[in-house]
Amino acid sequence: QVQLQQWGAGLLKPSETLSLTCAVYGGAFSGYYWSWIRQSPGKGLEWIGEINQSGYTNYNPSLKNRITMSVDTSRHQFSLKVNSVTAADTAVYYCARGSNLPSSMRWFDPWGQGTLVTVSS
Amino acid sequence: QSVLTQPPSVSAAPGQKVTISCSGISSNIGDNSLSWYQQLPGTAPKLLIYDNNKRPPGIPDRFSGSKSGTSATLGITGLQTGDEAEYYCGTWDISLSAVVFGGGTKLTVL
Counting as low any pLDDT under 50, the low residues of chain B are none
Q: What is the pLDDT of residue B66?
A: 97
pLDDT in the model for residue B1: 83
CA dist B46 and B38 (Å) reads 5
To 5 degrees, how large is the angle CA B66–CA A93–CA A115?
Answer: 125
In the predicted model, is pLDDT for residue A42 greater than 90? Answer: no
Average pLDDT over residues A25-51: 94
Confidence category of residue A41, pLDDT binned at 50, 70, 90:
confident
Contacts of B46 in chain A (CB under 8 A): 109-111
What pLDDT, on a 0 to 100 scale, did the predictor assign at position B101?
97
CA-based nearest residue to B97, from A109, A52, A45, A106: A106
Q: Does position A44 have pLDDT exceeding 90, yes or no?
A: no
Each residue's pLDDT tens digit, A50-74: 999 999 999 999 999 999 999 999 9
- CA dist., res. A16 & res. B105, Å (int): 34
Distance from CA of A76 to the nearest CA of B (A): 21
d(CA B53, CA B22): 13
The DSSP annotation for B34-56 comes to -EEEEE-TTS--EEEEBTTTB--
- Asked if A44 lies within 8 A of B101 by C-beta distance, the reply is yes
Which member of B35, B44, B47 has the closest CB to residue A112? B44
- Between the CA atoms of A78, A118, B96 and B31, what dihedral angle is there, to the nearest 10 degrees? 70
Report the percent of chain A where pLDDT is more than 70.
100
